[in-house]
Amino acid sequence: MSSSTVIDKKIIMKRFHSPKTVIARFVAKRTIRSATLWALFFAIYVASKAIGFVDTYPTAVARQKVAETFSNNVGIELMLGKAPRSGNTGAYVAWNTLAVMVIFGSIWAVLLAAKYFRGEEDTGRWELMLAGQSTARGAAMNNLAGLGSSLVVFFAILAIAFSAIGRSKGVDFTTSAAMFLALATVLGIVMFLLIGALASEIMPTRGRAAAVATTVLAISFILKAIGDVTSFNWAINISPLGWVENLKPLAGSHLIWLVPIILSCLILAVFTIYVAGKRDLGAGIISDQDSKKANFRLLGSPYWANLRLTRSNITGWLTGITVAAVLYGLMTKSAAQAFSQSKGAKHLLNSLAHQAQHSTILIFLGVVFLLQMTIIMAYVASAVSAARREEAEGLLDNFLVRPYSRLKWIGGRLMLIILVALSAGALTFISLFLATAYQHDNIATNLLLGACVNALVPAAITLGIGVLAFGFIPRMSAFFAYGVIVWSFLISILSSGISINHWILDTSVLNQIVLAPAVNPNWATDIIVLLIAAILCLIGVLRFNRRDLASL
C-alpha cells in the first residue's frame, strides 16, 4: 500500500467522523450565529425595559399608579397581554417583554425551520445529505438536534443576561426567576419552530410551509388577544401564546402551564419525524395538483411577473401595516393620558423626540411612526432578500433568456418595492387619521401627512444599501438590508445608557430622522438621505448590470 493511500484514508476518517450526525452538526453550525445574535438583542431589549422602568418610576407609589393606568388600557393589553395589577418591577418586565420576544423569536424560528426542513430540499442539496448514512427520518431527527443545539445556546445566553439584569439596582428579581423567564421565552419559540418543521413536511414548498406556520402563529395571537381584552378567558387557554402568557414568569411562575407546552412540543416532534419517513423526497403530504388550467395573467413583462410572484407577500405586509396603524391610532388617546400623568414618562418621551412638546399625543404619535417606519424598513429588506433569492434559485435566468435586459428586470423590481412602500405610507396616514378622528384627537392633517413622508425616508436608505450589496456582494444582500434595521436600533438602545461617539451615532438612520409629528421633520436632512439612497441604488444597479449571476 502506497504512502499516499494511507494519507488519504486518514484524511477521510477525520473528515467524515460520526457520519450519522453530520446533518445535526451542519445545521447547528449554520444556525448558532443567528441564535446568538437574537439572544443578545433580546437581552438588550429586556435590560432597556427593566432599567428604564426603574429609572422612570423610582418609587413604589409611582409604579403602582402606572400599573393601574396600563391595566385600564385595552389597546396595550391587546398587544402585550393582561397588564399586571401591581407595581412589581419583575411583573412589569415580564409583561412588557415576554410576548414581544416570543412572537419575534417564533417568526425567526418558523423561517429557520422552513429553510432547513424544506428549503434545502427545494434547492436539491438535501439529496446529497440523504445519499450518505442517513434515512429520511434520521435526517429529520438530525435537523431537530441541530436546531435544538442552537436554541440551547440561545437559552444559556438569555439565562445569564436575565440573571445579570435581575441583580441591577432597583430591578431585583432572583436568578431562578430570571432563568424561568428565559425558559418561558425559549419554550414558546420551540413550539413554533416545531410547527414550522411539521408544516415543512406536510406542505410541498418552503413558502407554503412558512405561510401555514405563520398563520398558526397569527391565529394563536388573535385567540390570546380575545382572551386578554374580553370575558372569553378560555381563549387564552387554547392558544399556544396564551400558555406562555399563563406561565407568569417574574410574577408568580405558574409551572402547571409547562405541561401543555412540553406535551405539544413532544407531539409535534414525533409527528415531524414520522411524516418525514412517509413522503417522497421533494413532495409533501399535501401535494400540488399535477395539472391545472394555464393562467397567463400578469406575465406580459418582468414587472408584472414580479407583481404576480410577490402579490400575496405584498398583501400580507400591507395588511399588517394597516392593522398596526389602526391599533396604534385607537390607543393614542389613552396612552397619551397615561404618560401625561407621569413626569418621568413625559421626560422619556421628550428625550426620544429630542424636544419638549406641549401635546403628549403628538409625542406618542412620534413613537408610533417609529414603529411603523421600522415595519416598512423590514418590508424593503425582505423585498431585497426575495430579489436575491430569485437569482440564487435560478428563476432570474428565465427572464434574461428572453428579450429583456437586466436593467429592465431590476428597474421593475425597484419600482414595485417603491410603490409598495409608498402605499404603506398612505395606508398608515389614512388609518391613523381615521382612528384619531374617531377619538376626537383633533390632529392636524398636515402634521400626520408630514410624519408619514418622514417615516418613509429610512426605508429609502435601507433599499439603497440593500441594492448596493445586491450589486457587489449578492450573497450578503439580506444581511446588509436587515443589518440597517438591527444596527440602527442597537445604536439607539445603547446610546440611551452609555456615551457613544457622535460619528458612530450618525451611522444609525434612526438618529438622522426625527420623530415627527412630535418634532417638525428636518426636510433638509431627509432630502440628503434620499439623495444618498438614490446614489447607492444607482451604483448597485449599474454593478448588477455588469456582474455575473451568482447562485446559492
**For residue 334, is pLDDT > 80?**
no
Q: Could you report the per-residue pLDDT of 489-533, keeping only the tens digit for each?
A: 767 655 554 556 667 777 778 777 877 787 788 888 889 999 999
Main-chain dihedrals φ then ψ at residue 446, nearest 5 degrees: -65, -30
**For residue 91, is pLDDT > 50?**
yes
Supply the pLDDT for residue 363.
72
Supply the pLDDT for residue 11.
47
Distance CA 272, CA 416 (A): 38
Lowest mean pLDDT among 142-156, 229-243, 262-276: 229-243
Q: Which residue has the higher pLDDT, 45 or 245?
A: 245
Lowest mean pLDDT among 7-21, 29-43, 290-304: 7-21
Supply the pLDDT for residue 344.
46
Most confident segment among 136-140, 153-157, 316-320, 377-381:
153-157
Q: Which residue has the higher pLDDT, 320 or 101?
A: 101
Quick one: pLDDT band at residue 537, thresholds 50, 70, 90? very high
The CB-side HSE value for 545 (13 A sphere, CA atoms) comes to 14
Supply the pLDDT for residue 540.
93
Task: Write the secondary structure of 418-446 as one string of H (helix), E (strand) and C (coil).
Answer: HHHHHHHHHHHHHHHHHHHHHCCCCCCHH
Q: Could you report the per-residue pLDDT of 23-73, keeping only the tens digit for each?
A: 888 888 889 988 998 899 888 888 877 877 777 777 777 777 766 666 655
Q: Could you report the per-residue pLDDT of 452-481, keeping only the tens digit for each?
A: 899 899 999 999 999 999 999 988 888 888
Q: What are the angstrom distances between the C-alpha of 53 and each of 58, 63, 320, 337? A: 8, 8, 29, 18
Lowest mean pLDDT among 123-127, 240-244, 371-375, 440-444: 123-127
Task: List all residues 6 or more positions away from 322 whose beta carbon is below 8 Å from its beta carbon.
Answer: 427, 428, 431
Cα Dmax for the chain: 90
What's the rounded mean pLDDT across residues 225-229? Answer: 77
Task: List all residues 6 or more positions away from 329 whose beta carbon is below 8 Å from its beta carbon.
Answer: 368, 431, 432, 434, 435, 436, 438, 439
Distance CA 282, CA 428 (A): 41
Q: Which residue has the higher pLDDT, 465 or 285?
A: 465
Quick one: pLDDT band at residue 282, thresholds 50, 70, 90? low
Distance CA 545, CA 201 (A): 38
Supply the pLDDT for residue 463.
93
Main-chain dihedrals φ then ψ at residue 549, nearest 5 degrees: -70, 140
Which residue from 61, 40, 44 is spatially nearest to 52, judged by alpha carbons? 44
Q: Is 39 exposed, middle or buried (0-12, 13-18, 19+ CB in 10 A)?
A: buried
Distance CA 423, CA 173 (A): 45
Looking at every residue in the chain, the average pLDDT score rounds to: 79
**For residue 352, is pLDDT > 50?**
no
Q: What percent of the chain lies above the pLDDT cut of 70?
A: 78
Supply the pLDDT for residue 124.
64
Lowest mean pLDDT among 299-303, 353-357, 424-428: 353-357
Supply the pLDDT for residue 333.
67
Most confident segment among 4-18, 167-181, 408-422, 482-496:
408-422
- Sequence spans of domains, the chain: 18-287, 298-547
Supply the pLDDT for residue 398.
76
Q: Could you report the per-residue pLDDT of 99-148, keeping only the tens digit for each?
A: 888 988 988 898 888 888 887 776 666 666 666 667 778 888 888 999 99
Which residue from 455, 462, 456 is spatially nearest to 516, judged by alpha carbons? 455
Q: Which residue has the higher pLDDT, 42 or 281?
A: 42
Supply the pLDDT for residue 431.
85
Q: Could you report the per-residue pLDDT of 194-217, keeping only the tens digit for each?
A: 999 998 888 887 777 887 888 888
Supply the pLDDT for residue 422.
93
Supply the pLDDT for residue 151.
93
Q: Which residue has the higher pLDDT, 352 or 294?
A: 294
Supply the pLDDT for residue 486.
77
**For residue 348, is pLDDT > 50?**
no
**For residue 187, is pLDDT > 90?**
yes
Quick one: pLDDT band at residue 189, thresholds 50, 70, 90? very high
Q: For the chain, how far is it from start to end, CA to CA, in angstroms?
A: 40
Which H/E stretch holds residue 331? helix 302-340
Lowest mean pLDDT among 135-149, 254-268, 416-430: 135-149
